[in-house]
Chain A
Amino acid sequence: MELNDLYRRVIMDHYKNPRNRGELNDESISIQLNNPTCGDRISLQLQVEEGKVINARYTGEGCSISMSSASMMTEAVKGKQLDEALELAERFSALMQGKDVEFDELEDIEALSGVNKFPARIKCATLAWNALKKGVESAK
């Protein structure tokens, strides 16, 4: 078990210097999710116009994996059509299942591929993406 597989530098960068942390205006779609087994929680806001994600922000508390994953997700999803955003979330799920997936949108995301070797931590990485899926569904 190599810790460096999990804690890649790019992950730590997103953890220490989070992108898109904060809140959007009241008209945005707002999704709250938590991970009851460990206490991690995320509040995701999506600004959707004409079927497209214009902006995404999040607040929350959690470990380096859950918070860096939220930072990367919000970066990747901006400018995506809702269908594309959903498809991106599906590809992330596949990545967590150990499948070989590429991310042209934001190669940082691939840094999270090491999480699949740490079964107890997969739920940390998927928290933000599950919030995204819920948000997209409610926007449709």
Chain B
Amino acid sequence: MNINAIREQFPILHQEINGHPLVYLDSAASSQKPRSVIDAVSKYYELDHANVHRGVHSLGSRATDAFEGAREKVAKFINSPSVEQIIFTRGTTTALNLVASSYARAVCGEGDEIVITPMEHHSNLIPWQQVAKATGATLKYIPLQPDGMFTLEDVEKTITDKTKVVSMTYVSNVFGCENPIKEVTKIAHKHGAVMVVDGAQSTPHIKIDVQDLDVDFYAFSGHKMCGPTGIGVLYGRRELLENMEPIEFGGEMIDFVELYDSTWKDIPYRFEGGTPIIAGAVGLGAAIDFLNEVGMENIDAHVKQLSQYAYNVLSEIDGIAIYGSEKNRSGLVTFNLDDVHPHDVSTVLDAKGIAIRAGHHCCQPLMRWLKVSATARASFYLYNTTEEIDKLATALVQTKEFFGYGIE
């Protein structure tokens, strides 16, 4: 993988921030976009735009072809058995909320259980809290070990015959660990529960095969994998999707509308009420082409190598605490510097052109589990280099010194 050639394709990376070359280490929050994605979106608007699935005119057909072409690319990308099982959403959050509001609310009742983990992003936690409150189901957590991971024994203990839904992230956006989705799915299925996976952090660099994983629902966002914001995907098992009620009603999703009753289109359209995010889907299609061209295996190897390198280099810094296990690093390193609040770390790094994330990472329960109010996080993608991680390490040492001098 030629990193320089890849970096050349990302216009945004070639700028200075506060007088320093930009070092972008916040791809877990949102990745940057290659020229081909930017061009695909603008070309769509310049040449092909109209509303989809409606007009008889030529532009309408071209827009529909572009939109449905993107759906085919997504289906192939995650090895969905069919194109109809790909629902376009606004992002992972909307996708997970769709599963919770439509599927889970219909199947859960008093005495049933929903099982998640404490490492979930708020978007894979609050929807389940809401389902539990509305249906009387119990929300259960698989306990975490001191290194932030869970054991399969604990998964076995937590999931029971009363469990209707198990939902978890594939890759934690705080620990960067990869969870054993296949194994957990087997346990969930043994008890008759469906398996929902938050793929927001995994899909950008891990080759996803939903049939091999055997999961029932899989959600991810376009903007973390070189695509535009505002577009995401929910994959679902066909027989589940076909029995789910829509949660948004309006244009595009109906079959027949009478004065007092209506019927829905088949999947996926019944879940895509209103004019969809056409340009976003086109951009996501271009992002998938780009990622395929680089090769998902190459991207995954690069991201993991950078993550391990960062773990090793940052571990050398005096007074740093790194959260999560040393092994099994997938895309990011979350840390704190002794006596320096992560916001202050982030501001000092920004003055040196380095962009990292500081805060609770939409994981307030996990922050409480870690007994910290916030952390700093550096995350890596295909365009990052080991030199950038060295710059981060140097800047962190300077940050410590800077805050040391401040108290003299």
Q: Which listed residue (A3, A12, A38) contacts B374, Cβ 8 A?
A: A38
Q: Could you tell me if A39 and B406 are in contact, using CB atoms closer than 8 angstroms?
A: no
B347: chain A residues within 8 A (beta carbon): 3, 6, 118, 120-121
Most chain A beta-carbon neighbours within 10 Å: one of B351, B358, B373? B373
Contacts of A64 in B (CB 8 A): 340-341, 344, 403
Closest chain B residue to A7, Cβ basis:
B406
Query: How many inter-chain contacts with C-beta < 8 Å in the A-B complex?
Result: 59
CB of A3 within 8 A of CB of B402, answer yes
Pair A39/B367 contact, Cβ less than 8 Å: yes
**Cα–Cα, bound, A38→B343 (Å):** 8
**With an 8 A cutoff between CB atoms, is A53 at the interface?**
no
A16 interface residue (CB < 8 Å to B): yes
* Contact in complex: B351, A39 (CB < 8 Å): no
Q: In the complex the two chains form, is B359's CB within 8 Å of A38's CB?
A: yes
**Docked pose: A40 CA to B364 CA in angstroms:** 12
Q: For this complex, into which size category does the number of interface residues on chain B fall?
A: 20 to 34
- Rounded to whole Å, the gap between the CB of B21 and the closest CB of chain A is 15
- Cβ-closest chain B residue relative to A124: B343
One digit per residue, 1 when the CB lies within 8 angstroms of any chain B CB and 0 when it does not, for chain A 1-20 equals 11100110101110110000
Q: How far is the CA of A62 from the CA of B348 in the complex (A)?
A: 16
Q: Are B407 and A39 in contact (CB under 8 A)?
A: no
**Is there an interface contact between B373 and A62, defined as CB atoms closer than 8 Å?**
yes
Judged by a CB distance under 8 angstroms, whether A25 is at the interface is: no
* CA of A13 to CA of B407, assembled, Å: 6
Which A12-57 residues have C-beta < 8 A from chain B? 12-13, 15-16, 37-41
A7 CB, min distance to chain B CBs, angstroms = 6
Chain B, residue nearest A38 (CB): B359
A38: B residues at CB distance < 8 A: 343, 358-360, 374
Answer whether residue A86 sits at the interface, using C-beta atoms and an 8 A cutoff: no
In the bound complex, what is the Cα–Cα distance between A72 and B244 (angstroms)?
57
- CB-CB contacts below 8 Å: B337-380 with A: 340-344, 347-348, 350-351, 358-360, 364, 367, 373-374
Give the residues from 100 to 140 in chain A that come closer than 8 angstroms, CB to CB, to chain B.
118, 120-121, 124
Tell me the minimal C-beta distance from A67 to chain B in angstroms. 8
Contact A16 B373 (CB under 8 A): no
A38 to B407, CA, bound (A): 24
For B343, give its contact among A11, A13, A121 (CB under 8 Å).
Answer: A121
| 8 cross-chain CB contacts under 8 A | A1-B19, A7-B406, A16-B406, A38-B343, A39-B373, A40-B343, A63-B341, A65-B343
